[in-house]
């Protein structure tokens, strides 16, 4: 962090500050850098030559920040005693790509909320590259991941997952089969550039499901200059022999911007640090310490286009995410030793496996005029998920289907969504926003098994939100929203099962009770949500946020209507058609402090659900094979609380120590039990050293991480207690330049000591299967 000063004498009370922002290495000017001057928050943006100028009162201290994407933040303080010229030499962050670009204006107006939002950029994903998008996010305090093997996972925010959080991908809420335990997110982790994690109730802006929080994926920043660039990355991981490639090309010409990305990955069965696992008193061998049939493939394509002029910015995104993942044979059915013997090929995917294809097309357009803006997002999604398993049945009278005899389950979900919002007074003290959203869904099922009924769902909501800047230090936010929904579920009577039960001598009532796999239902739901918050910034360095919000979600079709044995959970799960919308009240408190050495953030939350939906063991036996007692969806009062602590302390310019800690407490008030899938206390310590290199090595950064997961002894009925663990990881990122050829390398050793451990939230936890063992991974990124 170097800056040169030169003084020009002047005799006025206000002095002018002129600055030049340039790249420390190439000395090229950086147009579009953002300069923030405190304490009165004067913003300036550097021009084409990297220059900016402001007038400032003299003889008082000013904090000064220069921000530029891909560069280290430069902060300093100055006292002007004369007109001054400063040169700012920004250094690239170790992970920066050659995206030396910043857009003139952010095309998408941010939603104003007093809920703590954690911003994550491309460099985070490069540095923390993990098996999936959700897995990478789990390094953020307050976020955990539910894993299904090595490469599929879904996010959990403060212990709430499934349909209790929403993932908004460029303005459109991702809709797939998120209620299911073995479902992944269907997001290409390499095509994510900017993410905001909102840890708190966000129904005000996102409607149903945004109870626990929202993971908001934003489009990439568009450069202001005409340019063509791109990159190719090669990925290799040792644990599951993964090889992958992802390539991106971007073109900016005048008002148009176009970007495309292709990603392909293939991986073998993953390795665990165990020779056997004990499940249902059987000792199952894991030959070669590999989890048989957990190999997979991934193929993703995405295209984004942006058109911008003075007062309009329009994005169109098209993406298709495909994956095929094998399931460990022991996880479907009573494990059989013969099915676990190796077949000589760890890359093949045999039965059972799942395929998932998510296609999405959306347009997000913002029109600005006179301090006002109109924003709308229109999206269409088609999610096809299927589970394949060699035809099997308990019912002797069931014949394999003629077409696709081994298709066990299929779900085809179409979602059309439209969101719009109108904002006034964007740059004034008082902003007003009114918005509405409509979503239409159609789900169709197939396969020789049955899990979830066909349904159509229609939801619509309208909201008004406002923010008012009482003083430069205090801002108040608030809003209300009303949503209405309609769910039509098609009933399903299982004739095969009915015949089977009749043959077994069951009476008509029993036959009907079990064979009616889904009740035909027409349900209407309504709910209101709202938020009230305050942001108090006592000074430039610290900020205090408080928010109280009410969120909701409408019950899902499986919670309302399904009835039968869940083939993955081995439980007879029964829907309950009298469920009411689930609502939650939550309070959040956040404090953050940022100075030259310390970056600190403390968050605390507590929430109350008067009617949390969960599966309750009824104590009544199911007569169906592969099921014990019947579990029925029930509503209960639930209390959750917890918090996160994130601290980063810079000892020297090169050495940084960071610590993240997260804790969630929850309890079903009515029966006293904790909720299922409660994340244990998790602590992540990292010691990071970064410096300039010599010769072709321009910059490097190495970090040693220690992740300590505490034991989870607070379990719901029929969960397993999970032991804690402590893992050591090594991460190293390097930025190289050989002649004119630049490239980046990222090297990681995860779980260095190959420590066996369990993830309490993992799909395979109930089979006592440990998480993947040591993994050495290498990513080579070549920009052009």
Partner 1 sequence: MKKVFFTTVLAISAFVFLSCEKESIDAERPVIKLIAPEEEEGIKPGSDIHFDAVLTDNVALKSYKINIHGAFDGHSHSAATRAAGDVVAFEKTWLEADFIQLGDEPIAGKKEARLHHHHMVIPAEIDGKPIREGHYHFTIYCTDEAGNESFIAREIEISSSAEEHTYH
Least distance CB 661 / partner 1 (angstroms): 13
Q: Which positions from 608 through 627 interact with partner 1, judged by CB under 8 A?
A: 616-619, 621, 623-626
Q: By CB under 8 A, tell whether 534 contacts partner 1.
A: no
- Out of 61, 288, 396, 491, point to the residue binding partner 1 (CB under 8 A): 396
Least distance CB 682 / partner 1 (angstroms): 18
Task: Give the integer Cα–Cα distance in Å for 710 and 679.
Answer: 9
Least distance CB 534 / partner 1 (angstroms): 11
Between strands 194-198 and 213-218, the pairing is: antiparallel
On whether the CB atoms of residues 639 and 673 are closer than 8 A, the answer is: no
Q: By CB under 8 A, tell whether 19 contacts partner 1.
A: no
Nearest to 403 by CA among 415, 386, 416: 386
Q: By CB under 8 A, tell whether 719 contacts partner 1.
A: yes
Q: By CB under 8 A, tell whether 398 contacts partner 1.
A: yes
Least distance CB 391 / partner 1 (angstroms): 5
Least distance CB 163 / partner 1 (angstroms): 24
Q: Name the segment binding partner 1 (CB under 8 A); options: 248-256, 293-301, 599-607, 729-737.
A: 599-607
Coil vs helix vs strand at 557: helix
On whether the CB atoms of residues 81 and 59 are closer than 8 A, the answer is: yes
In the block, tokens 């004067």 appear at 42
What x-and-dash track marks residues 567-596 binding partner 1 by CB under 8 A?
---x------------------x-x-----
Phi, psi of 321 (to 5 degrees): -120, 120
- Out of 49, 310, 336, 495, point to the residue binding partner 1 (CB under 8 A): 336
On whether the CB atoms of residues 142 and 603 are closer than 8 A, the answer is: yes
Cβ neighbours of residue 444 closer than 8 Å, sequence gap 6 or more? 411, 412, 413, 454
DSSP string, 243-256: EEEEEEEEEEETTE
Coil vs helix vs strand at 306: strand
Q: By CB under 8 A, tell whether 288 contacts partner 1.
A: no
Q: Which positions from 642 through 661 interact with partner 1, judged by CB under 8 A?
A: 643
Instruction: Between 598 and 655, name the residue whose CB sits nearer to partner 1.
Output: 598
Q: Name the segment binding partner 1 (CB under 8 A); options: 56-64, 668-676, 684-692, 696-704.
A: 668-676
What x-and-dash track marks residues 253-282 binding partner 1 by CB under 8 A?
---------------------------xxx
Least distance CB 61 / partner 1 (angstroms): 21
- Cis-peptide, bond into residue 39, ω within 30° of zero: yes
Instruction: Between 27 and 283, name the residue whose CB sits nearer to partner 1.
Output: 283
What x-and-dash track marks residues 454-493 binding partner 1 by CB under 8 A?
----------------------------------------
What x-and-dash track marks residues 40-79 binding partner 1 by CB under 8 A?
----------------------------------------
Least distance CB 761 / partner 1 (angstroms): 17
Q: Which positions from 539 through 558 interact with partner 1, judged by CB under 8 A?
A: 544
Of the chain, the end-to-end C-alpha distance in Å amounts to: 27
Task: Give the integer Cα–Cα distance in Å for 12 and 10.
Answer: 6
Residues touching partner 1: how many (CB under 8 A)? 55
Least distance CB 510 / partner 1 (angstroms): 11
In the structure encoding, which two tokens stand for residue 182, read together?
Answer: 């073995």
In the structure encoding, which two tokens stand for residue 309, read together?
Answer: 């002029």
Instruction: Between 25 and 602, name the residue whose CB sits nearer to partner 1.
Output: 602
Nearest to 135 by CA among 259, 206, 65, 239: 239
Cα 473 to Cα 38, 116, 465, 535, distances in angstroms = 12, 17, 20, 8
Q: Which positions from 362 through 381 interact with partner 1, judged by CB under 8 A?
A: none
Least distance CB 606 / partner 1 (angstroms): 6
- Out of 230, 273, 400, 724, point to the residue binding partner 1 (CB under 8 A): 400
What are the start-end ranges of the E strands in 370-454?
372-388, 407-424, 430-446
Q: By CB under 8 A, tell whether 715 contacts partner 1.
A: yes
What are the start-end ranges of the E strands in 68-180?
74-79, 83-90, 117-121, 143-148, 152-157, 165-169, 172-173
In the block, tokens 């309208």 appear at 462
On whether the CB atoms of residues 552 and 609 are closer than 8 A, the answer is: no
Q: By CB under 8 A, tell whether 39 contacts partner 1.
A: no
Side-chain half-sphere of 761: how many Cα atoms within 13 Å? 27
Q: By CB under 8 A, tell whether 342 contacts partner 1.
A: no
Instruction: Between 344 and 625, name the residue whose CB sits nearer to partner 1.
Output: 625
Cβ neighbours of residue 731 closer than 8 Å, sequence gap 6 or more? 127, 128, 702, 703, 705, 746, 747, 748
Q: Which positions from 87 through 116 interact with partner 1, judged by CB under 8 A?
A: none
Instruction: Between 223 and 335, name the residue whose CB sits nearer to partner 1.
Output: 335
On whether the CB atoms of residues 654 and 640 are closer than 8 A, the answer is: no
Task: Give the integer Cα–Cα distance in Å for 690 and 260.
Answer: 32
- Out of 513, 585, 639, 747, point to the residue binding partner 1 (CB under 8 A): 639
Q: Name the segment binding partner 1 (CB under 8 A); options: 290-298, 363-371, 601-609, 769-777.
A: 601-609
- Out of 394, 526, 596, 692, point to the residue binding partner 1 (CB under 8 A): 394
- Out of 59, 338, 522, 694, point to the residue binding partner 1 (CB under 8 A): 338
Task: Give the integer Cα–Cα distance in Å for 611 and 676.
Answer: 16
In the block, tokens 């009476």 appear at 507
Q: By CB under 8 A, tell whether 29 contacts partner 1.
A: no
Least distance CB 179 / partner 1 (angstroms): 22
- Out of 181, 318, 520, 606, point to the residue binding partner 1 (CB under 8 A): 606
In the block, tokens 């439209």 appear at 418
Helices and strands, number each (H, E), in the chain: 6, 43
Buried b (16+ CB within 10 A) or exposed e, 138-166: bbbbbbbbbbbbbbbbbbbbbbbbbbbbb
Instruction: Between 666 and 777, name the residue whose CB sits nearer to partner 1.
Output: 666
Instruction: Between 737 and 766, name the residue whose CB sits nearer to partner 1.
Output: 766
Instruction: Between 310 and 336, name the residue whose CB sits nearer to partner 1.
Output: 336
Q: By CB under 8 A, tell whether 629 contacts partner 1.
A: yes
Least distance CB 623 / partner 1 (angstroms): 5
Task: Give the integer Cα–Cα distance in Å for 223 and 110.
Answer: 19
Between strands 256-267 and 372-388, the pairing is: unpaired
- Residue 183: Cβ within 10 Å count: 22
Q: Name the segment binding partner 1 (CB under 8 A); options: 25-33, 185-193, 389-397, 697-705.
A: 389-397
In the structure encoding, which two tokens stand for residue 390, read together?
Answer: 């060699």
Task: Give the integer Cα–Cα distance in Å for 262 and 207.
Answer: 32
Q: By CB under 8 A, tell whether 717 contacts partner 1.
A: yes
- Out of 109, 285, 333, 696, point to the residue binding partner 1 (CB under 8 A): 333
Between strands 682-692 and 296-309, the pairing is: unpaired
Beta bridge mates, 166: 214
Q: Name the segment binding partner 1 (CB under 8 A); options: 329-337, 513-521, 577-585, 725-733.
A: 329-337
Task: Give the integer Cα–Cα distance in Å for 84 and 82.
Answer: 6
- Out of 604, 650, 737, 774, point to the residue binding partner 1 (CB under 8 A): 604
Residues that bind partner 1 (CB under 8 A): 280-282, 332-336, 338-339, 390-400, 504, 536, 538, 544, 570, 589, 591, 602, 604, 606, 616-619, 621, 623-626, 628-629, 639, 641, 643, 665, 667, 671-673, 715-719
């Amino acid at each position: 962090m170097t800056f040169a000063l030169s003084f020009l004498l002047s005799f006025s009370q206000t002095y002018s500050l002129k600055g030049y922002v340039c790249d420390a290495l190439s000395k090229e000017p950086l147009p579009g850098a953002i300069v923030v001057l405190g304490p009165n928050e004067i913003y300036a943006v550097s021009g084409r030559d990297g220059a900016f100028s402001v007038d400032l009162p003299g003889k008082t201290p000013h904090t000064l920040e220069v921000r530029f994407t891909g560069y280290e933040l430069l902060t300093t303080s100055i006292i002007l005693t004369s007109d001054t010229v400063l040169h700012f030499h920004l250094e690239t962050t170790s992970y920066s790509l050659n995206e030396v670009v910043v857009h003139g204006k952010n095309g998408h107006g941010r939603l104003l909320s007093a809920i703590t939002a954690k911003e994550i950029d491309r460099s985070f994903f490069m540095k923390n590259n993990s098996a999936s998008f959700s897995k990478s996010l789990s390094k953020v305090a307050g976020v955990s991941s539910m894993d299904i093997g090595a490469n599929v996972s879904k996010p959990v925010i403060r212990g709430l997952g499934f349909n209790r959080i929403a993932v908004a991908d460029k303005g459109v809420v991702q809709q797939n089969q998120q209620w299911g335990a073995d479902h992944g997110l269907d997001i290409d982790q390499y095509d994510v550039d900017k993410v905001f994690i909102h840890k708190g109730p966000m129904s005000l802006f996102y409607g149903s499901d945004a109870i626990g929080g929202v993971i908001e994926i934003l489009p990439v920043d568009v450069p202001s200059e005409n340019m063509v660039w791109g990159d190719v990355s090669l990925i290799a991981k040792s644990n599951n022999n993964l090889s992958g490639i992802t390539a991106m090309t971007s073109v900016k010409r005048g008002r148009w911007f176009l970007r495309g990305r292709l990603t392909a990955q293939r991986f073998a069965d993953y390795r665990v640090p165990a020779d056997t696992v004990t499940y249902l008193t059987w000792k199952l061998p894991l030959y070669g310490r590999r989890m048989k049939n957990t190999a997979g493939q991934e193929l993703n394509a995405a295209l984004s286009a942006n058109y911008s002029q003075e007062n309009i910015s329009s994005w169109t995104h098209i993406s298709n995410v495909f994956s095929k993942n094998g399931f460990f044979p022991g996880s479907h059915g009573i494990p059989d030793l013969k099915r676990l013997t190796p077949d000589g090929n760890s890359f093949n995917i045999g039965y059972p496996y799942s395929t998932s294809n998510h296609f999405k097309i959306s347009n997000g357009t913002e029109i600005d005029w006179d301090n006002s803006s109109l924003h709308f997002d229109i999206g269409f999604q088609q999610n096809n998920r299927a589970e394949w398993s060699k035809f099997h049945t308990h019912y002797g009278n069931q014949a394999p289907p003629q077409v696709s005899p081994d298709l066990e389950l299929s779900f085809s979900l179409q979602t059309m969504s439209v969101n719009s919002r109108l904002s006034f007074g964007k740059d004034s003290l008082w902003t007003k926003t009114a918005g509405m959203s409509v979503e239409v869904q159609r789900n169709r099922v197939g396969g020789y098994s049955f899990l979830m009924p066909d349904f159509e769902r229609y939801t619509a909501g309208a909201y008004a939100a406002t923010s008012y800047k009482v003083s430069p230090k205090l801002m108040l936010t608030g809003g209300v929203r009303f949503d209405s929904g309609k769910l039509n579920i098609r009933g399903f009577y299982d004739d095969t099962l009915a015949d089977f039960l009749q043959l077994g001598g069951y009476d008509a009532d029993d036959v009907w009770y079990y064979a009616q796999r889904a009740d035909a239902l027409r349900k209407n739901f309504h709910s209101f949500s709202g938020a009230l918050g305050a942001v108090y910034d006592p000074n430039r360095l610290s900020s205090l946020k408080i928010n109280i919000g009410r969120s909701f979600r409408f019950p899902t079709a499986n919670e309302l209507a399904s009835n039968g044995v869940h083939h993955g959970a081995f439980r007879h799960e029964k829907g309950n058609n009298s469920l009411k919308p689930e609502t939650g009240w939550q309070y959040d408190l956040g404090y953050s402090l940022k100075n030259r050495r310390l970056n600190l953030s403390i968050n605390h939350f507590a929430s109350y659900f008067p009617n949390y939906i969960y599966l309750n063991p009824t104590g009544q036996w199911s007569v169906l094979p592969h099921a014990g007692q019947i579990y029925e969806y029930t509503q209960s009062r639930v209390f959750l609380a917890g918090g996160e602590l994130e601290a980063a302390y810079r000892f020297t310019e090169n050495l940084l120590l960071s610590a993240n800690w997260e804790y969630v407490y929850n309890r079903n008030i009515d029966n006293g039990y904790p909720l299922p899938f409660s994340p244990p206390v998790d602590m992540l310590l990292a010691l990071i050293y970064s410096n300039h290199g010599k010769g072709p090595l321009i910059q490097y950064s190495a970090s040693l991480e220690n992740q300590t997961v505490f034991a989870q002894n607070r379990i719901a009925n029929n969960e397993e207690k999970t032991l804690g663990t402590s893992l050591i990881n090594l991460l190293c990122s390097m930025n190289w330049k050989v002649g004119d050829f630049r490239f980046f390398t990222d090297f990681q050793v995860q779980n260095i000591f190959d420590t066996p451990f369990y993830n309490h939230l993992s799909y395979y936890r109930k089979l006592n299967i440990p998480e993947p063992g040591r993994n050495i991974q290498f990513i080579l990124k070549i920009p052009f």
